[in-house]
C-alpha cells in the first residue's frame, strides 16, 4: 500500500477516508460525495486544513480544547510519562503517581466535599459509571428499588447505551431501542422555544417543578437521582431561567434525590469558574467531568463523588472499571493542563476580562434581523435564528435547514461555528484574545448577513 502522508493530495486523502473511515454523527453517503475537510495541524485558536487554509475554531474542537492548540508542555509530559510508565491499571489494589496526583488535585479544585474520583476514558463512560453507581449506592443503603434516574429532554450525556439513554435526544433514542429501563425525561428549561407567553422566571419555576411531579408520580422510594448539565451544551447552549436551578436544588434536597451534575462541557473554566456548578450555585453529589480536564489532549474523564456517596460505595466492591481508568499518560497530561489553566489564570481571565468582552459583542448580535435571542455565559454562547424577532417564530423550512445554511457560510468564511437546529453555538478555546474575538464576531456577522440574503433569495424568509 502507498504510504499515506501529509503530502498526499487532499482528494486522495478524502477518498481513502470515505472508503475506510466510518464517521460519528455523520451521513456517510453524503460525506463520501462531498469529501471530509482534512485538518492537518492547529495552533492557539486556529486550525489549518490540507489546503493550508487557516480556520478560527470557535468550538474548541468539540467544546474541549480549553487551553488552545499546540501547547508543547503537554506533549513533553506525555512523552516523559510514556517512557517511565506508559500503562498500568488501577485495579487489584495498585496505583501510580499520576493518578494519585490528579485525584488529589481534582479534590482540591472541585467544590464542597466532592473529594473522590473514579476515572474513565470519556464523558459517556463516566455517565455509565454514574448510572451504575447511583443504583449501587441505594442498594447499599438498603433501598434497591430506588433505580429511576430522571433526566431532561434535549439533554446530552453521551453515546453509549447508558449515556444516550440518560441524554434526551429523540434522534438518538430512535436508534438502538433506547432509553434503557428506568430512565425518565422531563421537559427542558428552554424558555425561548417553549416558554410561550410566560415570563422566563415563571417558566423556569414550572419546568423545575416537573421534577417534583415526576418524583411524586414514581414515588420517592423509586427515584435514585436527577442528572443535568448546568447549561445544556449539545442541546443548543440553553441557559435556564434564573428561577430554575434553585428550585431543582430545593427538590433534590427535599426528597433526598442524588444530584448528578454533568460538567463535561461546563467544567474547567467554560462558564468563568472552575465548574458550572459554582457559576449557578448548584450543590452536586456527583459531578461528571471530561473534555476540558485534559483540554482534549488525551482521552480522560471522571466522576467526582461527595464524601457521603464515596463512603457508601466504599462499603462494597463496586464491580466496575475500565482498562484505561486513570491511565497514567492521560492523567499526567490532565495534570499539566490543570497547571496551565491555574498558573496562567485562564479561568479568571474568562471571568473578568476576555469573557465579558466576548459576551458584550455576542449579545449585540441580537440586533441582527435574523437573531431572536443571544445567550452567553462565560465562553459558551448561542443565538437563535428566527424569521420574526417579536414572536420568536420558527422558520417554515424544516428545523435545522437555516442553521445548516448559516454553518456553511461560517465554514466558507473560515469560522467553525456549529448549528443545533436553528441555533448557532460557540465555545471557543478559553485563551482566545480580544483581537481573535473581533475576528470571530466579524465572521459570524458576515455569515448571518449571507444567510439572510440567501434565504430571502430562496423564498425561505
Ligand atoms: N456529557 C456532556 C454534557 C457532553 O457534552 C458530552 C460530549 N459532548 C458527553 C457527556 C459525552 O462525552 P464523550 O463524548 O467524551 O463520551
Look up the CATH number of the domain holding residue 383.
Answer: 3.90.1150.10
Residues 78, 329 contacting (CB under 8 angstroms): yes
**The three cell numbers locating residue 441:** 464576531
Query: Strand runs (DSSP E) across 80-196, as ranges?
Result: 114-120, 148-152, 183-186
Q: Which of 48, 44, 46, 49 is CA-nearest to residue 70?
A: 44
CA–CA distance, 131 with 421 (Å, rounded to integer): 29
Distance 131 CA to ligand 1 centre (A): 15
Tell which atom from ligand 1 comes closest to the C-alpha of 127.
10
- The Cα–Cα gap between 288 and 123 comes to 7
285 assigned to some structural domain? yes
Q: Which three cell numbers stand for residue 382?
A: 448561542
- For residue 63, which atom of ligand 1 is closest to its CA? 8
Beta bridge partners of 210: none
The predicted structure's pLDDT at residue 1: 74
pTM greater than 0.90 (yes/no): yes
- Whether 88 and 96 have beta carbons less than 8 Å apart is answered as yes
Give distance in angstroms: CA of 188 to centre of ligand 1.
18
Residue nearest to atom 12 of ligand 1 (CA): 123
User: Which ligand 1 atom sits closest to the C-alpha of 123?
Assistant: 12
Select from 158, 275, 322, 382 the residue to mutate for testing ligand 1; criterion: most ligand atoms less than 8 Å from CB. Answer: 158
| 64 C-alpha to ligand 1 centroid (Å) | 10
Residue ending a domain, choose from 282, 308, 343: 343
Helix, strand or coil, per DSSP, at residue 226: strand
Is 148:186 a contact under the CB 8 Å cutoff?
no
Boundary (domain end) residue, out of 296, 312, 343: 343
The answer to whether residue 138 is domain-embedded is yes
Residue 123 CB-half CA count within 13 A: 29
Structurally, how many domains does the chain consist of?
2
Question: Measured between alpha carbons, how far is 204 from 373 in angstroms, rounded to an integer?
Answer: 17
Does some domain include residue 270?
yes
How many angstroms separate the alpha carbon of residue 135 from the centre of ligand 1? 21
Span from the CA of 63 to the centroid of ligand 1 (angstroms)? 9
- Cell numbers linked to 164: 444516550
β pairing state of 301-306 and 258-262:
unpaired
Look up the ipTM and state it: 0.99
Q: Which mutation among 129, 131, 265 tests ligand 1's pocket best, with the greatest number of atoms within 8 A of CB?
A: 265
Q: Is residue 23 part of a domain?
A: no
Residues in the chain where the model's pLDDT stays below 50: none
Q: Are residues 103 and 132 in the same domain?
A: yes
Same domain for 136 and 77, yes or no, is yes
On whether residue 25 sits in a domain, the answer given is no
Say how far apart CA 167 and CA 128 lie, in whole Å. 11
Residues 190 and 335 in one domain: yes
CA of 156 to the centre of ligand 1 (A): 7
**Separation of CA 133 and ligand 1 centre (Å):** 18
pLDDT at 2: 78
- Cβ–Cβ < 8 Å for 107, 310: no
- Contact between residue 46 and residue 55 where contact means Cβ atoms under 8 Å apart: yes
Same domain, 338 and 453: no
Evaluate whether 77 touches 336 at the Cβ level (below 8 Å): yes
The strand order across the sheet containing 148-152 reads 114-120, 301-306, 286-289, 258-262, 223-228, 148-152, 183-186
Q: Are residues 55 and 84 in the same domain?
A: no
- Tell me the CB-side half-sphere exposure of residue 74, using CA atoms within 13 A: 23
For 66, counting Cβ atoms within 10 Å of its Cβ (0-12 exposed, 13-18 middle, 19+ buried), the class is: buried
For 375, left (φ over 0), alpha (ψ -120 to 50), or beta? beta
Q: In what order do the strands lie in the sheet with 380-385?
A: 371-377, 380-385, 423-426, 418-420
Ordered alpha helix ranges (H), 229-379: 244-255, 276-279, 307-313, 328-343, 346-352, 354-364
Residue to mutate (ligand 1; options 62, 64, 65, 124; most atoms within 8 A of CB): 124
CA distances from residue 43 to 49, 341, 365, 366 in whole angstroms, order as listed: 12, 17, 27, 30
- Are residues 180 and 144 both part of a single domain? yes
Grid coordinates 474523564 are at which residue?
A: 301
Q: Is residue 30 part of a domain?
A: no
Instruction: Calculate ∠ Cα 79-89-260, nearest 5°.
Output: 100
Residues 441 and 362 in one domain: yes
Q: What residue's CA is closest to ligand 1, atom 7? A: 158
Determine, yes or no, domain membership for 431. yes
> Which atom of ligand 1 sits closest to the CA of residue 291?
15
Atom of ligand 1 nearest to the CA of 125: 16
CA nearest 65: which of 46, 90, 82?
Answer: 46
Spatial contact of 189 and 203, defined as CB atoms under 8 Å apart: yes
Residue 276 CA to ligand 1 center (angstroms) comes to 15
Residue 342: is it exposed, middle or buried by C-beta count within 10 angstroms (0-12/13-18/19+)?
middle
**Treating both helix axes as pointing N-terminal to C-terminal, what angle do 97-109 and 328-343 enclose, rounded to 10 degrees?**
40
Distance 388 CA to ligand 1 centre (A): 33
Distance CA 372, CA 382 (A): 11
CA-122 nearest atom, ligand 1: 15
Residue 291 falls in which region: left (phi positive, over 0), alpha (psi -120 to 50) or beta: left
The best mutation among 290, 299, 334 to test binding of ligand 1, ranked by most ligand atoms within 8 Å of the C-beta, falls on 290
Does residue 371 come out as left (phi exceeding 0), alpha (psi in the -120 to 50 range) or beta? beta
d(CA 123, ligand 1 centre) in Å: 5
Say whether both 231 and 266 belong to one domain: yes
Same domain, 294 and 368: no
Q: Which of 61, 151, 286, 291 to mutate to test the pocket of ligand 1 (most atoms within 8 A of CB)?
A: 291
CA of 389 to the centre of ligand 1 (A): 32
Distance 42 CA to ligand 1 centre (A): 22
Q: Does residue 417 sit within a domain?
A: yes
Pocket of ligand 1 (CB under 6 A): 62, 122-124, 127, 156-158, 229, 233-234, 262, 264-265, 290, 301
Same domain, 63 and 164: no
Closest ligand 1 atom to Cα of 124: 16
CA-based end-to-end distance of the chain = 51
- Is residue 336 domain-shared with residue 353, that is, in the same domain? no
Alpha carbons 153 and 48: distance in angstroms, whole number: 36
Which of 314, 343, 372 is a domain's end point? 343
Range of the domain at 376: 37-67+347-457
> Do both 62 and 81 map to the same domain?
no
Indicate which atom in ligand 1 lies nearest the CA of residue 301.
15
Task: Report the C-alpha gap between 44 and 60 in whole angstroms.
Answer: 10
Expressed in angstroms and rounded, the spacing between residue 234 Cα and the centre of ligand 1 is: 8
Residue 153: the pLDDT is: 98
Radius of gyration (C-alpha) of the chain in whole angstroms: 22
Let me know: does 58 contact 428? Beta carbons within 8 Å: yes
Amino acid at each position: 500500500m502507498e504510504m499515506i502522508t501529509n503530502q498526499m493530495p487532499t482528494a486522495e486523502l478524502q477518498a481513502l477516508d470515505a472508503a475506510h473511515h466510518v464517521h460519528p454523527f455523520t451521513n456517510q453517503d453524503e460525506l463520501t460525495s462531498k469529501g471530509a475537510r482534512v485538518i492537518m495541524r492547529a495552533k492557539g485558536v486556529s486550525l489549518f486544513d490540507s489546503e493550508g487554509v487557516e480556520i478560527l475554531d470557535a468550538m474548541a474542537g468539540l467544546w474541549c480544547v480549553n487551553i488552545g492548540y499546540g501547547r508543547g508542555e503537554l506533549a513533553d509530559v506525555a512523552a516523559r510519562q510514556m517512557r517511565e510508565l506508559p500503562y498500568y491499571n488501577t485495579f487489584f489494589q495498585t496505583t501510580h503517581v499520576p493518578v494519585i496526583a490528579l485525584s488529589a488535585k481534582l479534590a482540591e479544585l472541585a467544590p464542597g466535599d466532592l473529594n473522590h474520583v473514579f476515572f474513565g476514558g470519556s464523558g459517556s463512560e463516566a455517565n455509565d459509571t454514574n448510572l451504575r453507581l447511583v443504583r449501587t449506592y441505594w442498594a447499599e443503603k438498603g433501598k434497591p428499588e430506588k433505580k429511576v434516574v430522571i433526566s431532561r429532554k434535549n439533554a446530552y450525556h453521551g453515546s453509549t447505551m447508558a449515556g444516550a439513554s440518560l441524554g434526551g435526544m429523540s434522534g438518538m433514542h430512535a436508534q438502538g431501542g433506547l432509553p434503557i429501563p428506568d430512565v425518565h425525561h422531563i421537559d427542558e428549561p428552554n424558555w425561548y422555544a417553549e416558554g410561550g407567553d410566560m415570563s422566563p422566571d415563571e417558566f423556569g419555576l414550572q419546568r423545575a417543578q416537573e421534577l417534583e411531579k415526576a418524583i411524586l408520580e414514581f414515588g420517592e422510594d423509586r427515584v435514585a437521582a436527577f442528572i443535568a448539565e448546568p447549561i445544556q451544551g449539545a442541546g443548543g447552549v440553553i441557559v435556564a431561567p434564573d428561577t430554575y436551578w434553585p428550585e431543582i436544588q430545593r427538590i433534590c434536597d427535599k426528597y433526598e434525590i442524588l444530584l448528578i451534575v454533568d460538567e463535561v462541557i461546563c467544567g474547567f473554566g467554560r462558564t468563568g469558574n472552575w465548574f458550572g456548578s459554582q457559576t449557578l450555585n448548584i450543590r452536586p453529589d456527583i459531578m461528571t467531568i471530561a473534555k476540558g480536564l485534559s483540554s482534549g489532549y488525551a482521552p480522560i474523564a471522571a466522576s467526582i463523588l461527595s464524601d457521603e456517596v464515596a463512603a457508601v460505595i466504599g462499603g462494597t466492591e463496586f464491580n466496575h472499571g475500565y482498562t484505561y481508568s486513570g491511565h497514567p499518560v492521560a492523567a499526567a497530561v490532565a495534570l499539566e493542563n490543570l497547571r496551565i489553566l491555574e498558573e496562567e489564570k485562564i479561568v479568571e481571565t474568562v471571568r473578568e476580562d476576555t469573557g465579558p468582552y466576548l459576551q458584550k459583542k455576542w449579545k449585540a448580535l441580537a440586533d441582527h434581523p435574523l437573531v431572536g435571542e443571544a445567550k452567553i455565559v462565560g465562553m459558551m454562547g448561542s443565538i437563535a435564528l428566527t424569521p420574526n424577532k417579536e414572536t420568536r417564530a420558527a422558520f417554515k423550512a424544516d428545523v435545522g435547514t437555516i442553521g445548516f445554511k448559516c454553518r456553511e457560510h461560517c465554514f466558507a468564511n473560515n469560522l467553525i461555528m456549529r448549528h443545533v437546529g436553528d441555533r448557532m453555538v460557540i465555545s471557543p478555546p478559553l485563551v482566545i484574545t480580544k483581537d481573535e474575538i473581533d475576528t470571530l464576531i466579524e465572521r459570524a456577522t458576515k455569515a448571518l448577513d449571507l444567510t439572510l440574503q440567501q434565504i430571502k433569495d430562496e423564498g425561505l424568509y
